Amino acid sequence: MLEFHLKKNLVVATGAVQLSVDLVVAQNEFVTLFGESGAGKTILLRMIAGLTQPDEGMISVGDEVWFDSRKKINLPTQRRSIGFVFQDYSLFPHMTVVENLRFASCPLSCRAGQRAKDADAARIRDLLKTAGLLGLQDRRPHQLSGGQNQRVAILRAVLRQPKLLLLDEPFSALDMDMRLQFQEEVFQIHKKFGITTIFVSHHIAEVFRLSDRVAIIEGGRIARSGPPSQVFGERRLSGKFTFTGEVVEIVPDGVVNILTILVGNNLVRTVATDDEARDIRPGEKVVVSSKAFNPVVFKI
Amino acid sequence: MNILRGTIVDIESSQAVSLVCIDVDGDQFTALILEGRKGPVNYPQGVRVDLIFKETEVAIAKGISGLISVRNRFPGRIQQIESGQVLTKIRLDYRAKAVSAIISTPTAIGMNLKQDDKIEWLVKASDISLMRVG
């Protein structure tokens, strides 16, 4: 379990803001921090990672205290069990894929014995295989696509099986197809390793797809939080006829597309224009909303 | 979907239903929402909202006169017409903002709609959803 209560005075474009956020995240939970740019989401991640010092507060993971301003505890980044993926993946350019991973698992200062090194090599091989990157292990970052670079970055982040995975807009540099594929991989990695994950995004579709819970940050505070369907579906939109469902099929027909969506156990169909349907793929979660004034009701 | 951004300027509520007036760059829109004075006040005056309505809920009119019960009625100019066998999509320029309508192809032909035509577009208050910005 991750728990933090953090305060930090920030100077942003609109003036001074006090960031004051309290959050408890269950083990294995996937929580998204959502808000406009400059809301303080990245600073929060940096404070959890130990890259930025909070003005006051505490951070604990399980029974370990990482930061406590009163007790003057402040664990350095390397002693916090975290994996971090930023928007720009920043692999070491002079190292190959496998060297980048090896370095993350055992930096130059590491004096692990041969047996530990062999175990690491086997694990790296395993991960590369899972991610379909085995054939690229001897390439350098500039010989890889953006998506491949980002996949290596996430493998690097989970290599040491951290207690906490911090993702700061890791998909934003990718094109739409790559984005969807990579989201799926991140989701699988999160599930497979059971790593508590904090994700920063302002892209509603991916927040829906990935998060157990979303916390909206406004004016330096958590304005509201809950499952995405509740936070985005019911509260933001005035439609009272709002459901979440999974897209089963998209069939183009003239100037529109017919979407078949599974809502609970019922298949519903609706019409969407090309613009609306462009970012949606079968298998994705969507919100279906209509005005409450439109449906007709029959007694059965 | 069509999205226009505006600011709530007035609300008239009964027990469970409210008529919300929204200013969009000087034009006044009305949306009917199922939220009365007793419900949670998600849409107070002064709040920025997106007005959301489907293309299929937009009607197109040419030279209409008399009274009509549709409150949201604004000028536009046809930018592009894309015709399918049954449905036609019409992209409109509404005071430099984009609004689209989907109407039936026979109607589009019957009204003799062409690019650059000046028309009026209409949407019922009960067909507009509101979404708080931010």
Higher pLDDT, B73 or A170: B73
Q: Is A276 on the interface with B (CB under 8 A)?
A: yes
Instruction: Tell if the CB–CB gap between B34 and A238 is shorter than 8 Å.
Output: yes
Tokens 């989201």, residue located = A183
| One domain for residues A221 and A249 | no
Q: Which of B65, B68, B49 is nearest to B123 (CA)?
A: B68
Most confident listed range (A167-176, A224-233, B119-128) = B119-128
In a domain, A199, yes or no: yes
Top residue of B41, B54, B100 to mutate, by most chain A CBs within 10 Å, is: B54
Identify whether A119 is part of a domain.
yes
Residue A212 domain flag: yes
* Residue of A255, A271, A273 with shortest CB distance to B88: A255
Q: Is residue A235 included in any domain, yes or no?
A: no
pTM of the model: 0.61
Same domain for A213 and A245, yes or no, is no
Assess whether A66 and A116 both reside in one domain. yes
More confident residue, A214 or A228: A214
Do A202 and A254 sit in the same domain of this protein?
no
pLDDT of residue A148: 83
User: Residue A170 burial (CB < 10 Å; 0-12/13-18/19+)?
Assistant: buried
Instruction: Output the domain CATH number for residue A265.
Output: 2.40.50.100
pLDDT greater than 60 at residue B39: no
Residues A161, A59, single domain; the answer is yes
What is the residue extent of each domain of chain B?
Answer: 2-132
Q: How far apart are CA A287 and CA A276, in angstroms?
A: 12
Q: What is the mean pLDDT of residues A105-130?
A: 73
Same domain, A113 and A221: yes
Whether A222 and A245 map to the same domain: the answer is no
Helices A97-105 and A114-130, packing angle to 10 deg: 130
Would you call B67 helix, strand, or coil by DSSP? coil
Rounded CA separation A261/A166 (Å): 32
Q: Considering only A11-15, A211-215, B22-26, which range has the smallest mean pLDDT?
A: A11-15
The region of weakest confidence among A101-115, A124-138, A275-289 is: A101-115
Element (H, E) at A44: helix A41-49
Residue by residue, DSSP assigns B89-118 as EEEEEETTEEEEEEEEHHHHHHTT--TT-E
Show the domain range for A219: 2-230
d(Cα A86, Cα A199) in Å, to the nearest integer? 10
Domain count, chain A: 2
Q: Closest residue of B to A219, CA-based?
A: B134
Residue A295 is assigned to a structural domain of this protein: no
Do the chains contact at B127 and A289, CB–CB below 8 Å?
Answer: no
What phi, psi does A295 have (nearest 5°)?
-65, 145
**CA atoms within 13 Å, Cβ hemisphere of A284:** 22
Q: Does the CB of B34 have a partner CB in chain A at under 8 Å?
A: yes
**CATH number of the domain enclosing A158:** 3.40.50.300
Eight-state DSSP code of residue A240:
S
Residues A285 and A224 grouped into a single domain: no
Q: Same structural domain for residues A53 and A167?
A: yes
Mean pLDDT of A269-277: 88
Residues A76 and A216 in one domain: yes
Residue A55 pLDDT: 95
Mean pLDDT of the region A247-257:
89
Question: A256 and chain B: CB distance < 8 Å anywhere?
Answer: yes
- Let me know whether A202 and A278 are in one domain: no
B47 and chain A: CB distance < 8 Å anywhere?
A: no
Would you tell me how many other CB atoms lie within 10 Å of the CB of residue B9?
A: 13
Q: Count CB atoms within 10 A of the CB of residue A153.
A: 21
Using CB atoms, which residue from B1, B32, B84 is nearest to A255?
A: B84
Same domain, A75 and A223: yes
Q: Flag whether residue B13 sits within 8 Å of chain A, measured between CB atoms.
A: no
Domain B2-132, architecture per CATH: Beta Barrel (2.40)
Q: Is residue A298, in this structure, part of any structural domain at all?
A: no
B-chain CB neighbours of A238 within 8 Å are 31, 33-35, 42-43, 129-131
pLDDT tier for residue A39 given thresholds of 50, 70 and 90? confident
Please judge whether A254 and B87 are an interchain contact, meaning their C-beta atoms are less than 8 angstroms apart.
yes
Collect all residues of chain B within an 8 Å Cβ-Cβ radius of residue A289: 129
Proportion of chain B above pLDDT 90, given as a percent: 72
